[in-house]
Structure 1
Amino acid sequence: MMKRKARIAWIWLALLSMAVLAACASDTTNESKATPIPTETAAAAATASPAGQESPSAAPEKKEHGANGFLWKVTGGKHDGYLVGTIHFARPEMYPLHPNLEQALQEADFVALELDLTKVDQIKTLALVNERAILPEGTTLLDRVDGRDYKKFQEILKKSLLAAGAPMLDRYEPWYAAMTLESLPAMKYMSTDGIDQYIAKQAHKDGKTVLELESMEAQLDIFDEFSDELQKLYFRQTVDNAATAQEGLEQLLDMWTAGDLEQLEAVHEQFDAEGDKTMGDLNAEYSEAILGKRNAEMAKKVDHYLRDGEEGTYMIAVGSLHMVGEEGLVSLLEKKGYQVEFVK
């Protein structure tokens, strides 16, 4: 049971990981040699494909399709739309996506993402990270976390592809050190476009208008504004779940491939229930920052697009966990009067 809970916990972290985490390791062509920080080490180790590389489905495929994913049709506004619950990484065999997803992408005139990962300026991103995450002079990571957690963190890094960058992480706040640790299981998949990056590339290739629902600055600020107590707990949970992270990632990829909506909804329910148990009063702060506030802002923008936006069909593609639950995008749009239907 404990192992299963740990895997579920990592799935939450993976589903909630910001697009900014993928952005930090999405482009090895613009690495800053003057300011080496851990994200560069991650990018080099991952050997991620440049943003301009041909997308995975461009090559002829014998199979009918790979992943089913999560797709909803939205009607009832001035314009029709689609919701796509994404993940920030993928296996090569997940492409091409289900015909329903590919058709929805083809129909869309506008594609709205958390961030457009094809337009990431690596040097600017690293500078933004440094502005927010570097600790004050004379302060180290060990000053901000428990010694037991710090020791375990160092042991994990020394056995990883980021071993060379481990000393540099002493300069960073707990939230960023935790995010770096979260990136490790996904490195084996970094040479394949994640689902959101694939959608962005296809949209640009077909001349569609690509919109961003959030900014790099806003996503970084969410973590940087965590209280010291929440950062410390977030770091601890990430370290404690590291042993089952790879297994959790594989389960997440399996879930998205199958398009198992019941499992996605169950993960969300467990996110709330287990969060209360393991985080106590801090769960409200965490959940509101990661999901509640962001979902509300996204729903407002989607409502604007579908009611008052330019003529056309809109696709909204954001992290899968943003879609479900009472305060998820599906429910919020239904409360605004839209009809939202899951597409099998």
Structure 2
Amino acid sequence: MPLKSLLVLGLLASASVLAADTAKAPAAPVPLLWKVSDKDNAVYLLGSFHLLRPGDYPLSPEVEAAFADAERLMFELAPEEMQSPAMPQMMLQAALRTDGRTLQQELDAATWRRLEGWAGKNGMPVVSFNNFEPWFVGLTISIVEMTRQGLDPKLGLDNHFMDKAKAAGKPAAGLERAQEQIGVLDGMEATEQRQFIVEALDQAEKGSAETERLHQAWRRGDAEGLWSGMAADMKRQYPRLYRRINVERNDAWVPRIQQILTQPGDDDALVVVGALHLLGDDGVVEKLRARGYQVERICSACRAGTR
């Protein structure tokens, strides 16, 4: 599975800050939405895609109803961090090389030539990348290519609900801090970082097929397809990174979500996180179900028995 999928599946909200009109989609996206209940309140879990198109709106009635029912919202990052002008600078600072070498010295000659070609086509001097770590360069390539395909971070599901929460006067908080998210990217092994650049260049040369496949799977609400076709591959090919990006963060989030369910009163919450965090045995949905909570998928368009 391309490491680029970490971004487009919504695993790292902070990545979208680095960032078209298309034809209207025929129907609202089928939501990746679950309701977790205890005796007096509920938490709605909504799987996000961080870069979307105008045609992905409006959302389904189930999602709008969950927002209306929620007294507060939670995201991977609090809105004041996610939407802060300081966020891109934080990523740039983390990405600066401190080892005394250049990116060209780290990459093999063939990859550097490919990067040089891509940069030239996009009006960027390739030497401007020399002071940055490979993960940041690979991420930049992916963002540039996805925005060219009409996917816009400003239209991502997180930003959409952050704006709605602000307009409705609903409090919103984060499950983690921005520095923690950036640290996940910055903590990638050197071999994974170099592979990230190669795969980003591969996808740039192939065009929009991979991104469109992910986007359409999200629009269909295809939880099983997203898991078996992408997350399972990532778990097999990059086990250490999968654990850092998915398992460890899910394990840290579950107690925070439980606090909402166990607190006095009947206030409900809507939690909007990257879609992959909700899928599979390592996902937040199954982790909460394993702790004894009632969990149901809310999706009128889904087949009977889909979770």
TM-score, length basis structure 2 = 0.86
Alpha-carbon distance, 1:16 to partner? 4.8
* Relative contact order, higher structure (CA 8 A, sep 6+): 2
Give yes or no for contact 2:18–2:140 (8 Å, CA) kept in 1.
no
Task: Write the deviation string for residues 60-114 of structure 1: whole angstroms up to 9, x where unpaired.
Answer: xx99952222111111265211000000011211111000001101111111111
Instruction: Look up the match of 2:296.
Output: 341
Give yes or no for contact 2:6–2:12 (8 Å, CA) kept in 1.
no
2:124 to 164, 183, 194: 164
Alpha-carbon distance, 1:311 to partner? 4.5
Instruction: Look up the match of 1:24.
Output: 18
Alpha-carbon distance, 1:213 to partner? 1.0
- Give the Cα–Cα distance (whole angstroms) in 1 for the partners of residues 174 and 125 of structure 2: 31
Using the TM superposition, name which of 9-18 and 177-186 deviates more: 9-18
Give yes or no for contact 1:118–1:201 (8 Å, CA) kept in 2.
no
Stretches of structure 2 lacking an aligned partner (at least 5 in a row) = 300-307
Matching residue's letter, 1:293? E
Matching residue's letter, 2:244? A
Number of aligned residue pairs = 294
CA distance 1:340–1:166, change in 2 (3 Å): farther
Alpha-carbon distance, 1:204 to partner? 1.1
List aligned pairs for 1:106-145, cutoff 5 A. 106-117=68-79, 120-122=83-85, 124-136=86-98, 138-145=100-107
- Give the Cα–Cα distance (whole angstroms) in 1 for the partners of residues 291 and 131 of structure 2: 45
- Give the Cα–Cα distance (whole angstroms) in 1 for the partners of residues 5 and 88 of structure 2: 26
Give yes or no for contact 1:92–1:192 (8 Å, CA) kept in 2.
no
Instruction: Look up the match of 1:180.
Output: 140
List aligned pairs for 1:275-294, cutoff 5 A. 276=236, 279=237, 283-294=238-249
SS in 2 for 1:90: coil
CA distance 1:245–1:223, change in 2 (3 Å): farther
Instruction: Look up the match of 1:297.
Output: 252
SS in 1 for 2:271: strand
Using the TM superposition, name which of 75-84 and 228-237 deviates more: 228-237
Alpha-carbon distance, 1:117 to partner? 4.8
% identity of equivalent residues: 24
TM-score, length basis structure 1 = 0.77
Give yes or no for contact 2:10–2:48 (8 Å, CA) kept in 1.
no
- Give the Cα–Cα distance (whole angstroms) in 2 for the partners of residues 268 and 307 of structure 1: 33
Give yes or no for contact 2:50–2:157 (8 Å, CA) kept in 1.
yes
